[in-house]
């Protein structure tokens, strides 16, 4: 390990591409090298550096569950140079991946509790990893509630999975779209995530809340959760600062003394409150 160049990516072949929403794709990736596949493991919440050689690297989470072996998935929105190049990749192409990096959701500690997932827009992917992780170990948890919102019906990602989750009796799924984003067929809620959450009023009894979304959504969701009776240490979120290296060297993702890439990206709300307002 010590003699390895930490910047060399694994080569991963794109096995499957799913178009999730306009500009949003999911890649299923398989290791080119079997030994690397064997040795690889990760936990819910971790992320990696995905790259196209000659273009560059981009940071996003691993969106598949660690309980699903043999592949990893990532979901990204085409936005900058690297994600634009990734968007052009086809099934069968080889891309680079470095990781896993960062800490994880303490899912083992949540045994016997209820879970409340709250996500907005393109922030469902980091949560999907935990959701599937929990669903694959369903018996370990009590109630599972998912509140997910996007700008419009079109922008909802993982539409098939949402449908599947919606049908399952052991999941309470609340989906919502921003006002104006609904279609005539839309059966879910219309409204912003925090207010929809407040209306849905899931119990905070023995429950962990996991929140992922744009900063503005998170900002308005925390007070709602507190109102619902969640204590700070039972609320988790992820920070998504700009990163380059993934292991605390390149110097840009820190929030005060904390490096999001190394000490994060998963933080409980009480940990977050101790950080300076620099994220």
Partner 1 sequence: MMDLIKRATELLESDAVKVVIGYGKGSSTDRTRAIFVTQVADCENLVFNSQCIHNLAVYLTKAEIKKLGKPAIVAPVPVLRSILQLAAENQLTENDLVILGVTPESQLIEFESFAGIETFLDTHRIKIDQKYQETIEKIRSMPVAERFAWWVKELEPCFKCYACRSACPLCYCTRCTVENNQPQWISVASHPLGNLEWHVMRAMHLAGRCTDCEACYNACPMGIPIHLLTKSMLQDVNENFGTYGPTLKKDNTLSSFKPDDKESFIR
Partner 2 sequence: MQTENYLIRKSSLEKLFTNLIGNGKTIYAPKAKGDLALFAKVDAFEEITEDYIVTANSAKSLVFPRAEKLFSYKKSKENTEINDAASDTFPDVVLWGTRPCDAAAFIPLNNNFNEDTPDIIFSKRSQKVLVMSFSCSRCNEYCFCTSVNGGPGNTTGSDILLTKLSEGDYLAEVMTEKGQLLVKENSDLFEGAPEEGKERNLAQVTTRFNQEEIQAKLQNLFENPLWDEQSRACLGCGACTYVCPVCSCFDIQDEAHGNKGTRLRCWDSCGFGLFTLHTSGHNPRDKQGGRWRQRILHKFLYLPNKSKIAGCVGCGRCGKSCPADINILDTLTALQGEPHHG
Residues that bind partner 1 (CB under 8 A): 80-81, 84
- Closest separation between CB of residue 234 and partner 2, Å? 26
Q: Which does 84 bind (CB under 5 to 8 A by kind): partner 1, partner 2, none?
A: partner 1
Rule CB under 8 A: say whether 263 interacts with partner 2: no
262 binds partner 2 (CB under 8 A): yes
Residue 277: other Cβ atoms inside 10 A: 6
Select from 17-25, 54-62, 150-158, 172-180 the region that touches partner 2 (CB under 8 A): 54-62
Stretch 216-245 residues interacting with partner 2 (CB under 8 A): 240-242, 244-245
| Strand ranges in 81-212 using DSSP code E only, listed in sequence order | 94-101, 114-120, 144-150, 172-177, 189-190, 207-212
Q: Using CA atoms in the order 160, 164, 166, 172, what is the torsion angle rounded to 10 degrees?
A: -120
- From the list partner 1, partner 2, none, pick the one residue 17 interacts with, judged by a Cβ distance below 5 to 8 Å according to partner type: none
* Residue 53 found at the interface with partner 2 (CB under 8 A): yes
Cα separation, 29 vs 50, in Å, equals 11
Dihedral sign from CA coordinates of 252, 254, 260, 266: negative
Residue 265 has phi, psi (to 5 degrees) of: -80, -5
Rule CB under 8 A: which residues touch partner 2? Answer: 2-9, 11, 51, 53-57, 79-80, 83, 94, 96, 214-215, 240-242, 244-245, 247-257, 262, 276, 278-279
């Amino acid at each position: 390990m010590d003699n390895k160049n930490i910047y060399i990516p694994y080569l991963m072949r794109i096995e499957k591409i799913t178009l999730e929403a306009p500009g949003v794709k999911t890649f299923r990736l398989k290791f080119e090298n079997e030994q690397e596949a064997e040795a690889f493991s990760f936990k819910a919440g971790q992320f990696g550096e995905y790259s196209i050689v000659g273009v560059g690297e981009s940071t996003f989470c691993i969106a598949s569950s660690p309980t699903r072996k043999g592949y990893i998935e990532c979901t990204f929105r085409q936005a900058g140079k690297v994600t634009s190049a990734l968007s052009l990749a086809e099934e069968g192409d080889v891309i680079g991946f470095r990781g896993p990096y960062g800490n994880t959701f303490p899912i083992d500690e949540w045994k016997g509790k209820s879970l409340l997932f709250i996500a907005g827009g393109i922030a469902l992917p980091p949560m999907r990893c935990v959701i599937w992780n929990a669903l694959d170990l369903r018996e370990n948890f009590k109630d599972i509630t998912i509140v997910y919102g996007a700008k419009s019906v079109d922008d909802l990602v993982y539409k098939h999975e949402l449908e599947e989750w919606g049908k399952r009796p052991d999941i309470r799924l609340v989906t919502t779209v921003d006002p104006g984003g609904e279609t005539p067929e839309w059966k879910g809620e219309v409204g912003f995530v925090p207010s929809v959450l407040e209306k849905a009023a899931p119990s905070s009894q023995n429950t962990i809340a996991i929140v992922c979304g744009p900063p503005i959504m998170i900002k308005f969701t925390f007070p709602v959760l507190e109102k619902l009776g969640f204590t700070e240490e039972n609320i988790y979120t992820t920070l998504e600062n700009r990163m380059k290296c993934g292991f605390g060297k390149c110097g840009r993702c820190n929030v005060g003394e904390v490096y999001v890439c190394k000490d994060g990206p998963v933080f409980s709300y009480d940990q977050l409150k101790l950080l300076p307002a620099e994220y």
